[in-house]
Amino acid sequence: MKDFKDKTVSERLRNAAQAKQAMILRAGRPDANDPIAMQRRAERQAIVIAREARTEAKLRAAADLAERQASELAERAIQKKRETREMADREVASAAEQKALRDARYAARKKRKV
């Protein structure tokens, strides 16, 4: 069915161009001094600042955790070294005590024989 208004190709192209231009203007960038645009920009900036602060806090927390773990590991190593040294000292003392007891038995046996 034919349109009642006989539109030519140039009219249709002109109407399409006008519609396209209207859509571009409607969806285009708002004016820099537009209060709504300024508010949105400020909100986005606040979000970016908050995100950076959270990221920085996470990094600091991770660094603190790593430092704490390293110090705990060092303390455990020192404690283990101390326990090992004490155990070795006890073994040496025990060996010396056993030797002294053995020497006392030998001396007592020798004294009985004489």
CA distances from 102 to 89, 90, 106, 110 (A): 20, 18, 6, 12
pLDDT in tens, 34-61: 888 889 899 999 999 999 999 999 999 9
Flag whether 70 is in a domain. Answer: yes
Flag whether 84 is in a domain. Answer: yes
Flag whether 104 is in a domain. Answer: yes
Q: Looking up tokens 């790593």, which residue turns up? A: 66
Q: What is the DSSP letter of 33?
A: T
Domain encompassing residue 86 = 36-113
Q: Which of 28-32, 39-43, 74-78 has the highest mean pLDDT?
A: 74-78
8 A C-beta contact, residue 75 and residue 68: no
Flag whether 46 is in a domain. Answer: yes
pLDDT in tens, 80-94: 999 999 999 999 999
Number of domains comprising the chain: 1
Flag whether 26 is in a domain. Answer: no
Distance CA(46)–CA(55), nearest Å, equals 14
Flag whether 22 is in a domain. Answer: no
Q: Does pTM surpass 0.85?
A: no
